[in-house]
């Protein structure tokens, strides 16, 4: 399912996914402002993409992919039980380099995992995140990579 973010970037969620409501985005990510998300209920898998305001000099010196990932990690530490970073993500993208991290946490006593990755497009930082309690890591990585690789400036 293709969708547009702020009329500047298009992304594609896997076909079996359904768009999330603003209430769902707020429940999982503390805010629905400048954020889109989709879920796969059968796998209990959610993926979201948020974006910053346009960053221009001199603010661009302080607002970059790393600062957005640090803010994401801080939010996860505050809101997710037993949050722990598990490793780094670094991949090539047709528009530049994607960097991020994988993490684990618990929800209602269940072990869960997720990832966050950031890329700069059109002067904005886009932060993609996923969360799930599914043990099908191959599916999770495939779906998350599909969302990341589908991000294109319009």
State pTM to two decimals. 0.90
Q: What is the pLDDT confidence band of residue 81, given thresholds at 50, 70 and 90?
A: very high
Helix (H) or strand (E) holding 81: strand 81-93
Q: What is the pLDDT confidence band of residue 95, given thresholds at 50, 70 and 90?
A: confident
- pLDDT, tens digit, for every residue of 97-154? 899 999 999 998 999 999 999 998 888 899 999 999 988 888 888 999 999 999 998 8
List, in order of start, the domains of the chain with CATH numbers: 2-153 (3.40.1000.10)
Task: Give the mean pLDDT of 71-99.
Answer: 92
How far is residue 153's CA from residue 37's CA, in Å, rounded to a whole number?
18
- For the beta carbon of residue 63, count every other beta carbon within 10 angstroms: 18
Nearest to 150 by CA among 51, 25, 9, 17: 9
How far is residue 45's CA from residue 144's CA, in Å, rounded to a whole number?
10
Question: Please, what is the average pLDDT of the chain?
Answer: 90
């Amino acid at each position: 399912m293709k969708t547009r973010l702020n009329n500047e970037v298009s992304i594609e969620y896997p076909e079996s996914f359904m768009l999330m409501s603003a209430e769902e985005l707020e429940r999982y990510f503390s805010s629905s402002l400048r954020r889109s998300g989709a879920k796969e209920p059968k796998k209990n898998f959610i993926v979201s993409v948020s974006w910053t305001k346009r960053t221009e000099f001199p603010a661009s010196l302080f607002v970059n992919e790393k600062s957005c990932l640090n803010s994401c990690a801080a939010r996860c530490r505050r809101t997710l039980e037993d949050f722990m970073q598990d490793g780094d993500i670094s991949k090539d993208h047709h528009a530049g380099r994607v960097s991020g991290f994988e993490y684990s946490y618990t929800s209602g006593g269940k072990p869960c995992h997720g990832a966050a990755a950031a890329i700069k497009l059109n002067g904005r930082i886009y932060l993609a995140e996923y969360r799930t309690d599914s043990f099908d890591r191959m599916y999770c990585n495939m779906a998350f990579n599909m969302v990341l690789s589908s991000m294109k400036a319009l």
